[in-house]
C-alpha cells in the first residue's frame, strides 16, 4: 500500500467524523470552540499535536506531483503551518477563532468543505 493511501485511510475518516460532528452538533461545537479559544494551554497543545501530525505526514509524503496524492501533502503542510501558528501566536488564534465562529454559517460551510474533502480522501484511500 502506498503512503498516499495509508495516510488517506487515516485522515479521511477523521475529517468525515469531525465534519459530521460539526453538522450534527452545531451548538455544542460552537461551545467547544468558545471554550477552546479562551485557553492558551489548549491552543498550544492543539498546535503541538498538529505540528507533530503534519511533520509525520510531510516526512513520509512530501510529493508535489499533480494528482490526488498532492492533497495529502497539502494536508501535511497545513498541519505544520497551523501547528506553528498555534504554538507561536496563541493570541492570534484566540482572536481569529472568536471572530470566525461568530459569523453566521461559518461552522456549516466549514463542515461541508471538510466533509467533502474527507469523503474524497477516504474514497481514494479505500478504493482499489
Phi, psi of 71 (to 5 degrees): -60, -40
pTM for this predicted structure? 0.87
Would you say the C-alpha torsion 98, 31, 91, 74 has a positive or negative sign? negative
C-alpha cell at 105: 454559517
pLDDT at res. 1: 59
Question: What residue spans define the domains of the chain?
Answer: 3-123
For 65-120, how does the pLDDT look when each residue is reduced to its tens digit (9 = 90+)? 899 999 999 999 999 999 999 999 998 988 888 788 778 788 889 899 999 999 99
pLDDT band at residue 49 under the 50/70/90 scheme = very high
Q: What is the pLDDT of residue 107?
A: 82
How far is Cα of residue 101 from the mean position of the Cα atoms in its chain? 16
Amino acid at each position: 500500500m502506498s503512503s498516499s493511501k495509508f495516510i488517506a485511510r487515516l485522515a479521511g475518516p477523521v475529517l468525515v467524523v469531525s465534519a459530521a460532528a460539526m453538522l450534527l452538533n452545531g451548538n455544542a461545537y460552537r461551545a467547544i470552540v468558545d471554550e477552546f479559544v479562551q485557553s492558551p494551554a489548549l491552543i498550544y497543545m492543539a498546535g503541538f499535536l498538529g505540528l507533530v501530525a503534519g511533520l509525520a505526514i510531510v516526512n513520509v509524503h512530501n510529493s508535489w506531483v499533480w494528482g490526488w496524492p498532492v492533497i495529502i501533502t497539502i494536508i501535511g503542510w497545513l498541519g505544520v503551518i497551523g501547528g506553528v501558528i498555534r504554538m507561536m501566536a496563541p493570541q492570534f488564534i484566540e482572536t481569529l477563532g472568536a471572530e470566525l465562529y461568530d459569523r453566521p454559517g461559518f461552522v456549516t460551510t466549514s463542515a461541508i468543505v471538510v466533509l467533502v474533502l474527507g469523503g474524497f480522501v477516504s474514497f481514494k484511500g479505500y478504493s482499489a
